[in-house]
Amino acid sequence: MQHPLVSYPSDPETPVSHLPFSPCVVVGEMVFVSGQASVDKTGKIVVDSFEGEFRRSIENLRLVLVTAGSNLEHVVQTRNYVGREEYLPLYNQLYREYFAVYPPARTAIINCLGDAIKYEIECIAIKPAVQPVVPSI
């Protein structure tokens, strides 16, 4: 039986995985997001430059967070998987764009992804007191 404080938010616009894990689990006001990579909403890997894969991964993270009632501004911790050491300077530059003012606690693990993807990010966030407004398209 599911605990009343635990939920598994989902939305058709967020990427799916064919592996046995939940993209996001919400426990009370805490939001736990599984690793987000450069995939489309069907879960198919989108191969790109490191910057392209980084930006797509962060956008996927943002979509999952919004679905859970949070956003990038409320991320308190990230774990980052960087495919190669040579990507580290660009990784740090791009990371600062998304987490500029109050960067969350973070861990970066390098040389760990094999050849399929160049970057992956997971996070822990909180739900803000006032829910973010999602603009309609």
- Give me the CATH number covering residue 27: 3.30.1330.40
**Inside any domain, residue 67:** yes
Quick one: tokens of 10?
Answer: 């989902």
- Confidence check: pLDDT of 2 > 80: no
**Inside any domain, residue 134:** no
| Total structural domains within the chain | 1
Cα–Cα distance for residue pair 56/40, rounded to 1 Å: 9
User: Stretch 113-121: mean pLDDT, rounded?
Assistant: 94
CB neighbourhood size of 54 (10 A): 27
Render pLDDT for 63-101 as a digit per residue (tens, 0 to 9). 999 999 999 999 999 999 999 999 999 999 999 999 999
| Residue ranges making up the domain that contains 76 | 6-126
**Inside any domain, residue 26:** yes
**Inside any domain, residue 132:** no
Global pTM?
Answer: 0.89
Quick one: tokens of 18?
Answer: 């064919």
CA atoms within 13 A on the CB side of 82: 19
Cα–Cα distance for residue pair 71/126, rounded to 1 Å: 9
**Inside any domain, residue 80:** yes
**Inside any domain, residue 10:** yes
**Inside any domain, residue 137:** no
pLDDT at res. 60: 96
Please choose, from the candidates 28, 24, 30, 19, the residue with its C-alpha nearest in 3D space to the C-alpha of residue 9: 24
**Inside any domain, residue 135:** no
